[in-house]
Amino acid sequence: MSTPRRTRLEAVTEQSSVTPLELFFDLVFVFALTQVTALMADDVTASGLIRGVLVHTAYTFLHLPLIVGVILVALGLKKVLGYVAGDDGHTLTDPIYGLPLAALYGGAALYLLGLVAFKYRTLGRLSFETHAFAERRDLARHADPHGHA
């Protein structure tokens, strides 16, 4: 026996809830859409349309890996801080393994890859240099303007 399926027009009687993350991305999408339409209204040409699509893609779809990467790193760091605090009898010498380790490293990798994709989509070129590396390079140049070690 098979159970009857509900049709799309049938009302849902169960209580449904929306998570704060879903509300956040809905808000980001609406904000991005209003900004893109304002941008495209100022430049009603083919290049304005292309620029609007590029901006829309960058600030909606490419924003997601950045947020998910930050969330995964936070989950991994929560476990690391639990080890530091001695939760569940852990010590600092205990290795971290499994899902927390994957979240920690995978989240950082996802964030950095998302950042590279975001920069490629918005700037049109690959840029692997982050602000921290650029700051360090600039500080080194200012410390010794002649490039001597």
> In this structure, what is the dihedral angle of CA atoms 29, 34, 37, 38, given to the nearest 10 degrees?
-140
Given a contact cutoff of 8 angstroms between Cβ atoms, the answer to whether 118 and 62 are in contact is yes
CA angle 9, 20, 85 (to 5 degrees): 140
For the CA atoms of 81, 87, 88, 92, the dihedral, rounded to the nearest 10 degrees, stands at 60
pTM higher than 0.85 for the full model? Answer: no
Tell me: the pLDDT tens digits for 94-145? Answer: 788 888 889 999 999 999 998 888 888 777 777 666 656 665 666 666 665 5
Q: Which residues of 41-79 are buried (b: 16+ CB within 10 A; e: fewer)?
A: eeeeeeeeeeebeebbbbbbebbebbbbbeebbeebeeb
pLDDT at position 68 is: 92
Mean pLDDT of 60-87: 86
CA nearest neighbour of 115 among 125, 130, 137: 130
Question: In the block, which residue shows the tokens 């600039």?
Answer: 138
Cβ 83 vs Cβ 111: under 8 Å? no
Q: Is the pLDDT score of 91 beyond 70?
A: yes
Report pLDDT digits (tens) over 46-73: 888 887 777 777 777 788 899 899 999 9
| Residue scoring higher pLDDT (133 or 44) | 44
Task: Sketch the domain layout of the chain as residue ranges.
Answer: 20-143
d(CA 27, CA 22): 9
